[in-house]
Amino acid sequence: MLSYRHAFHAGNFADVLKHAVLTLTLEYLTRKEKGFTYIDSHSGAGMYQLADAYAQKTGEFKDGIAKIINEQAPEALAPYIELINQLNGHGELDIYPGSPGIAKAFLRRQDSANLFELHPSDHEFLAEFCQRWKKSHIHNSDGYKGVLGLLPPPSRRGLVLIDPPYEIKDDYQKAVKTIVKGYSKFATGTYILWYPVVKRELVEKMTNDFIKSSVKNVLQVEFCMSEDTDEYGMTGTGLFIVNPPWQLKTQLQEMLPYLKDKLGTSDSSFSLTQIIEE
Ligand SMILES: C[S@@+](CC[C@H](N)C(=O)[O-])C[C@H]1O[C@@H](n2cnc3c(N)ncnc32)[C@H](O)[C@@H]1O
């Protein structure tokens, strides 16, 4: 089943948190001269036009990136907002980068990217988007298997983003399992796992699966627009970050109240927890 298209959701509140963290992590990795490998298990199309029928149909970006693009944001959000501004020209918001678009902006000649995307159309868009990006490798195959086949990277420096659509319940466990297995091959890598808050017990199971595993140094961040509910629909967004950059926790402490203020309501909330110590 491949009905999910990220074009409907590009730039929404979940993308804001995920992509702000991705940006900070990539920026951190580029502080050292030595190259690194970026692996994106579920890449999407790479770049999105916000005027197209998909983004306009849901208008989700209007409650996400559009609310902060022209605001005086805290320093922790600056690299992310600056990137969106650079891509669009200040004051405009026509295009929005997916995770490969963000990685492309940060990766240098010494860095390489492996991008997995199963959907045939999004894979085609992605391949086209990356055409002139010499150190990118685009795969039309399963990202969970793909990640494990590439670890450890030759450079022994790497960032793995796992960002499934959660169309199938299996994704919740499969995503954690992939990181646990990946960590056993490459314990010094950084891993970012995105999840939606749709059913609280599914998130709790992921947290517990991490706690029971051999993985160390895991930070969990969550931003919920509204309270948990038994009704269908995403009320919040979260990330597990394994081996986060050392300043990320402080940067998130600065960013989260701002996001609640700008994107949320009085029902919104956030949390930041080191679920497993180093
Ligand atoms: C949430 S979107 C990715 C968004 C992207 N990471 C970003 O931040 O811009 C999930 C993508 O995973 C793709 N997909 C679903 N199952 C997959 C799998 N097993 N391996 C690789 N891609 C998959 C979907 O087609 C969809 O484009």
Burial class (CB in 10 A: 0-12, 13-18, 19+), 23: buried
The pLDDT assigned to 3 comes to 84
Test site for ligand 1: of 2, 6, 41, 172, most ligand atoms within 8 A of the Cβ: 6
Q: Is the pLDDT of residue 50 over 90?
A: yes
Mean pLDDT throughout 158-168? 96
- CA dist 268 and 166 (Å) reads 23
Atom of ligand 1 nearest to the CA of 101: 9
The pLDDT assigned to 273 comes to 98
Active-site annotation holds for 63 = no
Q: Is the pLDDT of residue 196 over 70?
A: yes
Q: Is the pLDDT of residue 27 over 70?
A: yes
Mean pLDDT throughout 192-216? 97
The pLDDT assigned to 1 comes to 63
pLDDT cut 90: percent of the chain above it: 90
Test site for ligand 1: of 1, 16, 118, 150, most ligand atoms within 8 A of the Cβ: 118
The pLDDT assigned to 132 comes to 95
The pLDDT assigned to 54 comes to 82
Ligand 1 center–CA 144 separation, angstroms: 11
Q: Is the pLDDT of residue 102 over 90?
A: yes
What are the counts of helices (DSSP H) followed by strands (DSSP E) for the chain? 9, 10
* Beta-strand pair 236-242/190-197: antiparallel
Q: What is the pLDDT of residues 213-250, one digit of tens each?
A: 999 999 999 999 999 998 888 999 999 999 999 999 99
Q: What is the pLDDT of residues 9-24, one digit of tens each?
A: 999 999 999 999 999 9
Mean pLDDT throughout 188-208? 97
The pLDDT assigned to 56 comes to 84
Q: Is the pLDDT of residue 208 over 90?
A: yes
Q: What is the pLDDT of residues 123-139, one digit of tens each?
A: 999 999 999 999 999 99
Q: Tally the residues of the chain.
A: 278
- Rounded to the nearest integer, the mean pLDDT of the chain is 96
CA angle 198, 16, 7 (to 5 degrees): 75
Choosing from 111, 163, 230, 267, the catalytic residue is 163
The pLDDT assigned to 149 comes to 98
Q: Is the pLDDT of residue 90 over 80?
A: no
